[in-house]
Structure 1
Amino acid sequence: MSVAGADNPADLHPLVARVARFAQTTLKPRMLHTDSEGVPTAIISMLGRAGALNHLASPRFGGAGLAKAEDRRVHEHLAAGCLNTWLIWAQHASIAARVEAALEGADPGHDLIDGLLRGRVFAGAALSDVRHYPERFIAADRAKGGWQFRGTVSWASGWGLNEVLLIAGVDAVREQVVLALVPISERFTASPLHLAALGGSRTFRVDLDGVFVEDSLVISIEPLAAWQSKDDQTAVDAKPHLFGLAAAVLEELRNEPHALARDAAAAWAPRVEELRSQAYALADAGDASNFYAERLGVRVQTGEALSTISKALLVARAGRSLQRNDSAQYYLRSAHFLLVQAQTDAVRAAQLARLG
C-alpha cells in the first residue's frame, strides 16, 4: 500500500516499519468496526508500544525525533489503516514536538509535561476555536498563579482517551493567545457530536466552566495576529493523511473485479502521486509563504481527487457499497470529512470557487 511505491526510503526506519505493520495487520481489519464502535483504549496503548506517542520528541525524553519524511509516512500509514484512529492520534502526535520546542532546552517543570514528552500522557487538542474570534472562542482570563479558561470547545476528538487537552484560549484584553496543557476535570462538561463520518473518533463538544490552569502548564503566549498568520499558513497544505487515505482507496480499486474500476485506479494513481510530490515540495520550500496560492490549489485538487476515487469505488460496487460493512461507503464519507477538516475561510473559498 503506497502511492509512493513499496521502496519508499522512510519505510526503512524501524519505527515507521512498526507503524506500517500495525496499521495493516491491526487497524485495517477492524477499520469498519472502529468507525461504528469507536477507537478503544487498547489501540492507544499499542501505539505507545510502537513508539508512536512521542515519535517527534528528542531522545532526551525517549522519543525517536523523527525527521519530516518519516513523520509524514507515519501519518500516511495510520490514515490508510483507520482514519478514526489517525484523527485521535494526530491530535496528540504533534504536541510533544510543540511542547519541547517551547521549553528551549529547559526542564519540563511539571510531571504532566514530562509524561507527555515521554509518551505516557495522552493528550487531545482544542485549538481551532481561535479561528472564530471574536464571534466565539475560548476565553483566557488572567488569574493568580495562572489562567482561567471558559467557553465551549467546538471539537475535541479522543474524548475518554485523553488525560489532558492542549487548549488555545484568547486573552481578549491583550489580544494574545494562551496555549496551555489543561488536565481534564469535573469542570469539563462534554456532549458527543453524532458525526456522519468518523463516528468512531470520540469527538465531543466540551464546555469549560472557569477551568484553572497553573502557569507551569502554560506552553506559550503570543500575539493573536501572529497565531492567526501561522495557523493560516499551516492549514493551507495538503497533508499526509490525505495521501494515506488515497492510497488505501486506490489499492481497493486495483483489486476490484470490474476492469473499468482497475482502469480508474491506473489512471488516478499517477495524479495522486503528482499531487503528493507537489504538496511536500511546496511545504518544504524555504520561502513556502510565497507559494501560498499554489499550496492552496494543491490542497483543493487533492481533496477533489480523493473524492473522485472514493466515488469510483462506490460506483464499482453498486448497491452493496452502501452497506455499513462495505469499505466503499466508509471511504467516501471519510473523503468528504477531509474536505472540511482543518478548513479555514481561505480553504473554503478556494473549494467553493472550484465548484462554482
Structure 2
Amino acid sequence: MTIAADIDSPATDTDPTAHPVYREFARFADEVLAPRAVEVDRTEVPRSHIDGLRELGYHRLFVPEQYGGLKVPPRVVNAVNNLLFGVDPSTATIVTQHGAPVLPAVTAGTDEALALLPGLATGELIGGAGMGHVRGWPKRRGTVATRVAGGYRIDGTIGWHSGWGLTDIIWLGAVDEQREDFVFGIGYLGDPAISGRVLPLTAVFGSRTAELTLDGYFLPDALVSEVVAVEEYRRRDGTRVQELQRAKHLNPDVADTELAAIAPAGPYGLARAALDDALRISGDDAHLIALSAELESVVVTPLPDPRWRAALNELAVRATTAAVVAAGGAALLDSDIAQVRARAAQFLQVRGLAPSVRAAHYAAYTR
C-alpha cells in the first residue's frame, strides 16, 4: 500500500497524527520497525526497512511536487519523522537525512542536478549528508576543494555520514583554502574515489554512520550548489535557515511563521516515546506527568535559534533517562528499547554541533 491515495486528506491543526499519511506510517512502524529496533541498533538498518518506507512513499515527502514529490502538511511530515525516531532511532537517523541533497539540487538548478529529483522522490536514489565537518576548519582539515577545469577536486575526510551502504548521493562540503570559501555540492557515493569505514558508535550504531575518504573526487560545476565565504557561512550556522528553506520549497503556500513554529525532528520523538513507556510502567506519577507537560510546552513555544534545539535535546536526555529509571535494572539489558533511546538522546547532543549550538547546550546544562 502507498500513501498516494490519501494526500488530499486534511490534517487537523492540533493533531497531525490524525492525518491518514501519519496513520499509515504508524502502522508500518508498529508492525515492521518496532519489533526489530533493538536488534537493528546493535547490527545495521536492513535494506528491507528502506524498501518498506519507499513502498509507502516516504521519500516523496522530501521532494517538491513538480518533481514527483508529495505535498503533505509540514506538521504531518514532522510528526512522521518524530514517530520514526521514537520507534527506531537508527533507521530514523538515516532516512530523515534523505532530503539533504534536495534543496542543493534545486539551488544548483542545472539539468544534471534537477534530474536527480525524480529518483529521490521514488527512492530509487537515497540521499544523505556529509558537510558538518567543515565547521572545524582551519583547526581541523576535513575535505579540501581545489579548483580544476569544470569543477572541483575534493580530497580528505568526511567524519560523519549516516547510511553508508544504503545511500547513493550525498550533500557534501569542502573548503577551498586558497579563497577561504566553503564549497557545497552533490556527490555520487558509488564513485571509486570515495570509500567508507563504519564507525564503532555507542549510539545508533545501526545507522551505518561512516567516515568517508575522498581521494581525488571530481565535483562538477553542474552539481555545485553553493560557494560561500567562510565568515558569511559562520554567521548563519546554527540557525534553521536551510531547514526552513527546504520546507518552503516543499510547501510554498505555507506561511513562514507556521514553518518556523515546527520543532526540529528527533528529540521530541525520542522523549515522547520514552515518557509514554515510563507512564505505562509507573502509572500517573506526578513527576512524569510534569515532565511530559514540560515537553509539550517547549515544543509549542518556539525559542530563538539555537536555544530551542538545545532545550529539546536536553529534554530528550531527561525523558529517556526517566524511562530508564521507570524500567529499573531491566532497562540496561541489551534487549530493552529504553537503553537504545537513552543512548540515541546522547547522539543528538553532537548532531549539527555548530559553535552556537554547543554554547546553547552548555548554557542549558549549567542553569
Aligned residue for 2:195? 189
User: Secondary structure, in 3 states, of the residue corresponding to 1:161?
Assistant: coil
Q: How does 1:264-275 map to 2 (within 5 A)?
A: 264-275=287-298
Distance 2:175 2:62 in 1: 27
* C-alpha distance after superposition, 1:28-68 (max 9, x if no partner): 22110110111011111112122221313222211013343
Distance 1:13 1:355, change over 3 A: closer
Aligned residue type for 1:87: T
Q: CA deviation at 1:344?
A: 2.0
Question: Among the aligned pairs, what percent are the same residue?
Answer: 29
Aligned residue for 1:312? 322
Match of 2:360 among 338, 350, 355: 350
Q: CA deviation at 1:7?
A: 8.5
User: Secondary structure, in 3 states, of the residue corresponding to 1:91?
Assistant: coil
Aligned residue for 1:30? 36
Aligned residue for 1:251? 276
* C-alpha distance after superposition, 1:96-125 (max 9, x if no partner): 24422442xx64556445423543211221
Distance 1:102 1:216 in 2: 7
User: Secondary structure, in 3 states, of the residue corresponding to 1:181?
Assistant: strand
Aligned residue for 1:179? 184
Q: CA deviation at 1:90?
A: 1.8
Distance 1:72 1:314 in 2: 26
Contact in 2 for aligned 1:61/1:118 (Cα 8 Å): no
Q: How does 1:88-127 map to 2 (within 5 A)?
A: 88-103=94-109, 107-108=111-112, 111-127=115-131
Distance 1:11 1:108, change over 3 A: farther
Aligned residue for 1:130? 134
Distance 2:152 2:224 in 1: 9
Aligned residue type for 1:231: D
* C-alpha distance after superposition, 1:142-171 (max 9, x if no partner): 112221111100001100001122211121
Distance 1:209 1:350 in 2: 36
Distance 1:314 1:12 in 2: 29
Distance 1:214 1:71 in 2: 32
Distance 1:227 1:14 in 2: 39
User: Secondary structure, in 3 states, of the residue corresponding to 2:58?
Assistant: coil
Distance 1:200 1:122 in 2: 17
TM-score (norm 2): 0.83
Aligned residue type for 1:232: G
Contact in 2 for aligned 1:138/1:169 (Cα 8 Å): yes
User: Secondary structure, in 3 states, of the residue corresponding to 2:185?
Assistant: strand
Contact in 2 for aligned 1:54/1:96 (Cα 8 Å): no
Distance 1:218 1:238, change over 3 A: same
* 1:341 and 2:346 aligned: no
User: Secondary structure, in 3 states, of the residue corresponding to 1:247?
Assistant: helix
Contact in 2 for aligned 1:187/1:210 (Cα 8 Å): yes
How big is the alpha-carbon RMSD for the aligned residues of Structure 1 and Structure 2?
A: 2.5
Q: How does 1:16-95 map to 2 (within 5 A)?
A: 16-95=22-101
* 1:207 and 2:213 aligned: yes
Match of 2:154 among 138, 149, 153: 149
Paired residues in the alignment total 334
Distance 2:13 2:72 in 1: 19
Distance 2:90 2:137 in 1: 28
Distance 1:133 1:252, change over 3 A: same
User: Secondary structure, in 3 states, of the residue corresponding to 1:206?
Assistant: strand
Q: CA deviation at 1:312?
A: 1.9
Question: Any gaps of 5 or more consecutive residues in structure 2?
Answer: 1-11, 244-261
* 1:224 and 2:225 aligned: no
* C-alpha distance after superposition, 1:273-315 (max 9, x if no partner): 0010113xx4xxxxxxxx34xx51x333322322222222212
Aligned residue for 1:239? 264
Match of 1:15 among 8, 13, 21: 21
Distance 2:202 2:95 in 1: 20
Contact in 1 for aligned 2:203/2:343 (Cα 8 Å): yes
Aligned residue type for 1:58: P
User: Secondary structure, in 3 states, of the residue corresponding to 2:301?
Assistant: helix
Distance 1:168 1:109, change over 3 A: closer
Contact in 2 for aligned 1:158/1:202 (Cα 8 Å): yes
**Higher mean Cα deviation, 226-235 or 106-115?**
106-115
Distance 2:361 2:346 in 1: 12
